[in-house]
Structure formats: C-alpha cells, structure tokens
Amino acid sequence: MSGEAQRRVWGVDPPQGAGRGLSLRAERVTLGYGGRAVVRGLDLDVAAGEILVVVGPSGCGKSTLLRAFAGLLPAVSGRVLADGEPVGGASADRALMFQDDALLPWRTARRNVELALALRGVPRRERRAAAERWLGRVGLGDDAGRLPRELSGGMRQRVQLARTLAAGPRAILMDEPFGALDAQTRASMQRLLLDVLADAPATVVFVTHDVDEALLLGHRVVVLGPAGVAAEFAVPASRDAVLAALGAGDQLKEAV
Amino acid sequence: MNGLHRWPVRVASLLAAVAVWHLATAADLRLWVRFDRFPGPVEVVREFGRQVEQGQFWQDVAQSLVRILSGFALAAVLGVALGVATARSRWAGDLLQPLFEVARPIPAIALVPVAILLFPANEQGIVFITFAAAFFPVLVSTRHAVKALPVVWEDAVRTLGGGRWRVLVRVVLPGVLPGVFGGLSIGMGVAWICVISAEMISGDFGVGYRTWQAYTIVDYPGVLVGMATIGLLGWLTSASVELAGRRLTRWLPREERS
C-alpha cells in the first residue's frame, strides 16, 4: 500500500471523499414503539463522510436511532434528514447492518451478498463476480456456496458485512456489527471497513459497546443516555501514529 | 437412527395388522365386534387383482385424481395468495377476513346442496367442494406464517433497495414456505375426505362412487378394495406434498426439519 493510500485508510480529519457520503441529521427527534418513547427530543448531526460511533447503556435507543436513519422507523415527532431531505422510507443509499442474523436463510452466502445488486438489476454474471470478490475480502471465499445454517454466527456476521458493503451505500448504519467475532477476526474486519471507506467513502454511524473499537474507528464518539446525547468526544487525529507505533497495522494486514 | 434400519419395522407393522385381520376373519371372530361376515385379506386381494385388470378401476382412479388435483391446485394458489394478501394488507384483511371467518366453520361436505344449486355440472360441484375443503387450512397456515416472519428479513431487503413488491417476492413467499407446506399437507388430507364423500353423494364415477356402489349391492370385498385404493392414493399424494415441501425448505435449520 502506498503512503498516500495508507494515509487515506488511517487518516481521520478531514474525512476523505466527503462528497459521496450522505449527511445525516436528527432534529428534536422522538422515536418509539407503540406509544412508548425510546428516544426523546434528540438532536444529532453526522457530517458527510464522518465515522460517528455511538455508545451508551442498553436500551438507550441506539438501535432505534439507526432504524430511524435507515428509514425503517418513522419519527413520532421531529425530523430525520439525509442530505437535508426528510427521510421518507428505506433506501439502498442507507444500508443497515443488523446486530442479529439478518441473512435470508434460503440463500447461499453468495446469493445473500448479491442481494442489493440483484435488486438493482445488475446482470447475473457481474453480480456473482462482485459477490465472490466481497466474500473473499471478508475471508469467506471458500464458503460462497454454503447456506447460512452451515455457517457459524461469526461467519454469518461477516457475510452480512460483505452484503452491506457490496451494496455500495452512501451511509452505512452498523448495529454492533462485530459483536459476535473473535478478537482477531474483529480486528481484520475493522481494518477492512476502513480500507473500503478509503476506496468508497461513506458516512458511517457505528453502534458498539466496545470503547477500544469506538476510539479506533470513530472520528467522533457520542455517548447516548436516557436524556439524549450525554457526552461527545472528537477522537484526536494521532490515531494512525499510535497504531503505527504499536505495529498494529502490520498485524492487522496479516490477519486479513 | 439410520433410515434403512427403520424400514423393516415399518413394513413389519403393516404386515402385523394384515395378519391380525386375516386371523380374525378366518376364525369368524365375534368379540362384540364381529368379523364373521367381514371379508378377509385374501378375498380383498383377489378382488383387487380382478379389478386392476379392468378399465373401469383405472377410469375411477383417474377421475378421482383429476378432481382432487384440480381442487387442491386451486386451493393452494388462492389460499397462499389470499393468505398473504389478508396478512399484509389492512384493506384486503378488512374486506375478506370477516367473510372467511364466517365461511370457515362450515364443513365442506355440507356444501353439497350449495354446489348442486350453483354449478351446472356435477363435476364442477365436486371440484368446488374439494377446493373448499383444502382452501382454509392453506389460507390459515399462510396467514400465520406471514405474521410470524422475522421482521429483520424484510428490513434487510428494504435497506438494500427492495420495494414492497420485491419484499413480497424475495422475502415473504420463500419465507412462508415451511408454514404453507404444513397447510398443504393438512389440506391434502381433508381434500381426500371431501372428494370421496362428494363422490359417494353425487358422483357418476370415481373411487368414492364405486365404493358406495359396491356397498349398495352388498359387495363387501369391493368396499374394502375401494377403501384400500383411497388409502393408497391418499398416501401417495400426501407423500408427494411432503417430498416437495422438504425439497423446497432444505435451508431450514436441522431441528426444524426432521
């Protein structure tokens, strides 16, 4: 990898290629299910191309917020905007990677990864090649023909990552995407995500319980509490230097 | 347990039942239930052998099969389509659900007079009754399967760019198959009950008609041949439905398949 590309992968501020990412905005948004509010009057801005990590106790509405940004859950009050336009429903621009197993169980790993391309009408041979490439990148090149039930939880999670990234979304909403992975695979998936973002910039809202992961991936970390944003931190741009000093970059490269 | 090891037990179970039948009739057993005038397996097999050499037997079988397959196919298509529609569209649900709930408790065989009034030909009436019998199990199981679909599958396809129609084709229809096949199996069973009963009441041909005919002329071996034929045909068609179901739902986790 060239020095410039290295910078683009690990560089933090300002985000590269911000023009392709969507800006997301929640304006005094209240969200809930069946009359029970989970998020009340939340204000949150995500800049185009930014990686925003959301942490917070269980039940504080992190997943609910992602569903609202994805357009799967209409706001009870307030507005949810993408690039300044109100979010009216789900769209391939805003892909949501779910915490739970969201693969279609009757489709093989490859056909799951193909899904977004199939929905867009990409010809079979082309989308098949793309899906196999993405499965290779998440380390599952040999498992393309297997059904979800034949894969472990961690492998299914990686297929879902491949499926989300293959869609080429402008905003990627990730709900504890690497929770089911072992430490080494998790590190290689984090690295893969940053690599992909370097090539195809996108806005990322990333929910996690892991503070190390939050600091490694995020440009900014938001702590969500019962009363909205409880605290907010910009992650200093010296991350790449720290990682280089630790030799983590090389370790991760081997893991990939 | 290995499938091959289980076959001898299954065959032995059938043979034992036939042996008990043979002993009971050969000994003219009268133990509250009376076997003295009941035809034994040897008589029935002989009568069966005689009948399969005649064209009429095959004509009856073909007639019954055509009736049940047309009624069942109609029930499968409409049951799945309307089950999905009433479960997914509030409008379709409000429009059709009350109608179905009122019509569902009526036993299909009680529709014989209705069928005779409505349809110009006997044949259509019998197919209608068979359809009515199989329709409700398919409808209800499809409705339940649609309601039980994990929301995350639909959400995933929607955030990957799928609209309502795509969700229907790519998520709902494949996802409900395991539940639908449960309904199809039950539907095939009740469809046989109803096609045979309808044939007994108003048919001119068919296995049910022939069985009743044999009874009215006191041809008891003929009655039992009819029953054995119904049993075999029912087993054959149910097994086909089961096989198709297993083929189409291979993706299910093992504990749910069996």
Please check whether residues A145 and A71 belong to one and the same domain. no
Contact of B71 with B129, CB cutoff 8 Å? yes
CB contact under 8 A, A102 and B152: yes
At residue A19, the pLDDT reads 53
Task: Give the CB-side neighbour count of residue A186, counting CA atoms within 13 A.
Answer: 16
CB pairs A-B closer than 8 Å: 73
CB contact under 8 A, A92 and B161: yes
CB contact under 8 A, A72 and B156: no
Please check whether residues B23 and B89 belong to one and the same domain. no
At residue A20, the pLDDT reads 79
Residue B256 has pLDDT above 80, yes or no: no
**Higher local confidence (pLDDT), A58 or B71:** B71
Contact of A192 with A174, CB cutoff 8 Å? no
CB contact under 8 A, B159 and A120: no
pLDDT below 50 — which residues of chain A? 1-18, 249, 253-256
**Higher local confidence (pLDDT), B194 or A8:** B194
Please check whether residues A7 and A87 belong to one and the same domain. yes
CB contact under 8 A, A98 and B171: no
**CATH code for position B98:** 1.10.3720.10
CB contact under 8 A, A167 and B152: no
Among B151, B158, B160, B172, the strongest candidate for a mutation testing the A interface, having the largest count of A CBs within 10 A, is: B160
Please check whether residues B141 and B252 belong to one and the same domain. yes
Query: Chain B neighbours among A 35-94 (CB < 8 Å)?
Result: 67, 70-72, 89-92, 94
Contact of A27 with A81, CB cutoff 8 Å? yes
Please check whether residues A121 and A43 belong to one and the same domain. no
Residues on chain B touching A111 (C-beta within 8 angstroms): none
**Domain assignment present for A243:** yes
The shortest CB-CB distance from A102 to any of B156, B162, B166 is to: B156
Please check whether residues B75 and B12 belong to one and the same domain. no
At residue B258, the pLDDT reads 45
At residue B93, the pLDDT reads 92
The shortest CB-CB distance from B157 to any of A106, A115, A149 is to: A115
Q: Which domain holds residue B49?
A: 44-257
As a whole-number percent, the residues of chain B with pLDDT over 90 amount to 75
Query: What is d(CA A81, CA B233) in angstroms, rounded to the nearest whole number?
Result: 62
At residue A130, the pLDDT reads 94
CB contact under 8 A, B251 and A149: yes
pLDDT band, very low/low/confident/very high, at B235 (cuts 50, 70, 90): very high
Residues on chain A touching B152 (C-beta within 8 angstroms): 98, 100-102
Q: Which amino acid is at B50?
A: R
Domain boundary, last residue among A118, A137, A168: A168
At residue A244, the pLDDT reads 54
Lowest-confidence segment of A108-117, B32-41, B178-187 by average pLDDT: B32-41
pLDDT band, very low/low/confident/very high, at B16 (cuts 50, 70, 90): very high
ipTM: 0.81
For chain A, what is the domain count? 2
Q: Which domain holds residue A145?
A: 103-168
At residue B2, the pLDDT reads 60
**Higher local confidence (pLDDT), B5 or B93:** B93
Residues on chain A touching B170 (C-beta within 8 angstroms): 104, 115, 119
